[in-house]
A and B are shown apart, each in its own frame.
Chain A
């Protein structure tokens, strides 16, 4: 194994094909220089030197992992992309703020989660992970994008979404502004139903009453289907009236299951056919995403994927 930790981002000397290299990224400008030097070679962002790897190019984001600012008035945190979600959440907790439920994301780097093909952390109250993204800066071989924060992207296509879900093909995400919220007092609630569709109907009645729990989850419990949720105090009465739920000790969904099937429409039971161990965390009026064991991930649309590949190729980034 021929590890070399390169502190100077300038490439060129001693570059040997087949050797594993790990380049420390300290600033977005560093990252742009590195990408330019790599000239389209494949690379992987990591946090610290990966163990047991003897080939490939790695960009170490450990030096680019700070929380730059926390702004309670704007409800935003500016954080570097090598930080972990749990690290940011801990820092926010000191000020009574939160990113929302992490649902198993805690140890992941922010750059890694945002570039992943699937959106994560469905929360009726806080939205998906990508919904909390206010602004993003990325390094391209040609330079660094701008990172202005606004409550909404408003001019032209939402270009900040291009590297999101792109698997690092559209540049390296270097720092992001994320929505933060005042920590909300919640109570656990649980109710059981005869079947999936009855449980969904109860949850949607709560939705129609304006309830947006921090998280909710449907899962099989014996012969019944259980609805569990963390409900903000201000919505408890409406939630209980709509669902018949009672106070309960509840556990937030974790990362053990992955999105496996998109269900559109109200017939949740039909959408779950053939999946033995399933949970539904992402429950919306127009449908749901069923989570199941790994190996059953949702397919990505081939036509669109091919078009996206052409966009990445036009960008001239990593192959």
Chain B
């Protein structure tokens, strides 16, 4: 890989204009990383960030293609950038390379209302896109918790899922066609049709094969009705059974989320009113959520985190209820029928109807979680999430195995969401601390490794919708086996110089080796 020289940057300025290229320190710093929590730990430890040589803002697909061709000719690495909300290091800059920010590609190019498709440029921020669709009486049905700070291109590149995925699918289910500038600088447009499935190749490619510049996506009419409900399930297993039976019977609820006892407790503390108990659980809730001043809360958090094994075991020893939240939508009849079908399964599994409250409260606070992490870092702790996916028969065992594997290191809780006929995602949240920054970072790494080892050993998918980036790269060979050769072949053809987001998904050295042996 080469470093961008001033002559090279002048060439980029000729393409995108002088204002379209920045080499100022603040901007190079701002674009040095995404929201991968490990980067935050590195920053707290005082480690310097590796910064790109420049940030580039192309205005059109043709300009993107020209930038890619220039980089390919000079051997300068490119990191495509949407809104930087990734949590796996997928948009972390490569030193000496350029970051290509797509946010100036933000037009809705075409809406075909009768066909229910819209073509939109990659840099449009999700919330603005959804608001535009809403004004047309439509919805994409894609509501990731990062919707306010993520882009359409980022969704596609990282294989995103929204909170209503059980009804509308993940982003790959919404993609009809893509416009991509591959690493050789050629603009290519996929289309529905026969032969090789190129959409499947570019979705989830995280900028390693090319830059997604536009997507044609399926859209839907705004739902006419919604039915909200919460169920107090006697156990996690009972809740999982309700989710499985609902999906395998062919119902399509928009939202199905099951919170484990600890997560139920904390949902209760946020005001859903469904999980809070008196007694031991109530005291634990007070300990974790804290009441009073910020200082008191921070002290309570540190106290709980100093004995994570004890707290995790306490939660396991006193199994509380698991909260199942559902939202059914569509035409009035469909929403009501789906809600009734879930009620049938939930009652059979011992669930107690909590009314509309939990569903409505979840909807009102659905994006809150993304903005709570900084408070935890300020209190001297760290927090992160990882999501895995597996089949129904393995869900509970995987959940327990991960909790056991990391439970002595960090406080761990989970919810089960993104449900499909064959299984679901488990979304773990872990919170930990350490005597100092180095110990925190070492613990953070151990927890990630232990959790992903569990997923690999049990044949689960090591991610569901956050992508792989750098955080899962180490486990990618074990996940894909010889299929890595397929990726190496795709990379060799789509990105012959190897400039596209190098080092992400798979380590460069591993791909080089595969390429040579092929």
Q: A residues engaging B (CB < 8 A)?
A: 71, 73-76, 117-119, 125, 130, 134, 138, 140, 142-146, 148-166, 170, 179, 181-182, 184, 208-210, 212, 232, 234, 237-238, 259, 262, 264-267, 285-287, 297-298, 300-301, 303-305, 307-308, 310-312, 314-316
Residues of B within 8 A of A140 (CB): 482, 485
Q: Of the candidates B117, B197, B248, which one forms a contact with A182 in the assembled complex, judged by CB atoms under 8 Å apart?
A: B248
The smallest C-beta distance from B184 to any residue of chain A, in angstroms, reads 10
| Cβ of B202 under 8 Å from chain A | yes
Residues of A within 8 A of B330 (CB): 209-210
The smallest C-beta distance from A233 to any residue of chain B, in angstroms, reads 11
Extra contacts, 11 of them, besides A74-B392, A155-B472, A181-B248 (Cβ < 8 A), are A71-B391, A150-B460, A151-B420, A151-B421, A152-B418, A152-B464, A153-B204, A158-B172, A159-B480, A304-B191, A307-B493
Are B193's CB and A298's CB within 8 A?
Answer: yes
* Bound: A311/B208 CA distance, A: 15
| Cβ of B393 under 8 Å from chain A | yes
Write 28 A-B pairs (CB below 8 A) sorted by A numbering: A74-B394, A75-B248, A151-B423, A151-B424, A152-B418, A153-B461, A155-B479, A156-B206, A156-B476, A157-B487, A159-B487, A165-B195, A182-B249, A209-B330, A209-B334, A210-B331, A210-B334, A238-B331, A264-B115, A264-B117, A265-B112, A286-B115, A300-B194, A301-B191, A307-B198, A314-B488, A314-B492, A315-B485
Given contacts A155-B479, A159-B480, A165-B195, contact A208 B393 (CB under 8 A): no
Residues of A within 8 A of B334 (CB): 209-210, 238
Are B423's CB and A157's CB within 8 A?
Answer: no
Q: Of the candidates B220, B391, B461, B465, which one forms a contact with A76 in the assembled complex, judged by CB atoms under 8 Å apart?
A: B391
* Cβ contacts B286-300/A at 8 Å (1 or 0 each): 000000000000000
Residues of A within 8 A of B461 (CB): 148, 150-155
* Bound: A103/B197 CA distance, A: 22
Which chain B residue shows the least CB distance to A285?
B116
The smallest C-beta distance from A17 to any residue of chain B, in angstroms, reads 26
Are B204's CB and A156's CB within 8 A?
Answer: yes
The smallest C-beta distance from A225 to any residue of chain B, in angstroms, reads 18
Given contacts A74-B422, A152-B170, A310-B493, contact A315 B115 (CB under 8 A): no
* Bound: A262/B192 CA distance, A: 8
Are B115's CB and A158's CB within 8 A?
Answer: no
Given contacts A149-B391, A157-B202, A315-B518, contact A179 B250 (CB under 8 A): no
| Cβ of B517 under 8 Å from chain A | yes
The smallest C-beta distance from B353 to any residue of chain A, in angstroms, reads 22
Q: Of the candidates A117, A146, A238, A285, which one forms a contact with B333 in the assembled complex, judged by CB atoms under 8 Å apart?
A: A238
Are B389's CB and A154's CB within 8 A?
Answer: yes
Residues of A within 8 A of B26 (CB): none
The smallest C-beta distance from B254 to any residue of chain A, in angstroms, reads 11
Are A71's CB and B250's CB within 8 A?
Answer: no
Which of B159, B425, B487, B517 counts the most A-chain CB atoms under 10 A from its CB?
B159
Which chain A residue shows the least CB distance to B468?
A155
Are B170's CB and A308's CB within 8 A?
Answer: no
Are B193's CB and A311's CB within 8 A?
Answer: no
Given contacts A157-B203, A184-B250, contact A142 B485 (CB under 8 A): yes
The smallest C-beta distance from A102 to any residue of chain B, in angstroms, reads 19
Are B195's CB and A308's CB within 8 A?
Answer: yes
Number of residues in B with C-beta < 8 Å to the partner? 86
Say whether chain B's binding surface is mostly helix, strand, loop, or mixed: mixed
The smallest C-beta distance from A278 to any residue of chain B, in angstroms, reads 18
Are A162's CB and B194's CB within 8 A?
Answer: no
B209-226 at interface with A (beta carbon < 8 Å): 209, 218, 220-221
* Bound: A288/B517 CA distance, A: 43
Residues of A within 8 A of B424 (CB): 151
Residues of A within 8 A of B114 (CB): 265-267
Are A161's CB and B459's CB within 8 A?
Answer: no
Residues of A within 8 A of B196 (CB): 162, 165-166, 304-305, 308, 311
| Cβ of B486 under 8 Å from chain A | yes
Which chain B residue shows the least CB distance to A160?
B483
Which chain A residue shows the least CB distance to B182?
A307
Residues of B within 8 A of A179 (CB): 421-422
Are B392's CB and A266's CB within 8 A?
Answer: no
Residues of A within 8 A of B515 (CB): 314
Q: Of the candidates B209, B393, B459, B465, which one forms a contact with A157 in the assembled complex, judged by CB atoms under 8 Å apart?
A: B209
Residues of A within 8 A of B333 (CB): 209-210, 237-238
Residues of B within 8 A of A310 (CB): 493
The smallest C-beta distance from B72 to any residue of chain A, in angstroms, reads 16
Which chain B residue shows the least CB distance to A134?
B422
Are B486's CB and A170's CB within 8 A?
Answer: yes
| Cβ of B257 under 8 Å from chain A | no
Which of A73, A179, A181, A300 counts the most B-chain CB atoms under 10 A from its CB?
A73
Which chain A residue shows the least CB distance to B387?
A154
Q: Of the candidates A158, A166, A182, which one forms a contact with B204 in the assembled complex, judged by CB atoms under 8 Å apart?
A: A158
Are B389's CB and A152's CB within 8 A?
Answer: yes
* Bound: A162/B421 CA distance, A: 24
Are B200's CB and A158's CB within 8 A?
Answer: yes
The smallest C-beta distance from A39 to any residue of chain B, in angstroms, reads 14
Q: Of the candidates B337, B421, B487, B489, which one forms a contact with A181 in the assembled complex, judged by CB atoms under 8 Å apart?
A: B421
Are B422's CB and A76's CB within 8 A?
Answer: yes
* Bound: A1/B445 CA distance, A: 63
Are B195's CB and A155's CB within 8 A?
Answer: no
Are A146's CB and B481's CB within 8 A?
Answer: yes
| Cβ of B131 under 8 Å from chain A | no
Given contacts A150-B460, A157-B209, contact A311 B489 (CB under 8 A): yes
Are A208's CB and B221's CB within 8 A?
Answer: yes
* Bound: A287/B177 CA distance, A: 13
Q: Of the candidates A119, A163, A232, A303, which one forms a contact with B250 in the assembled complex, judged by CB atoms under 8 Å apart?
A: A232
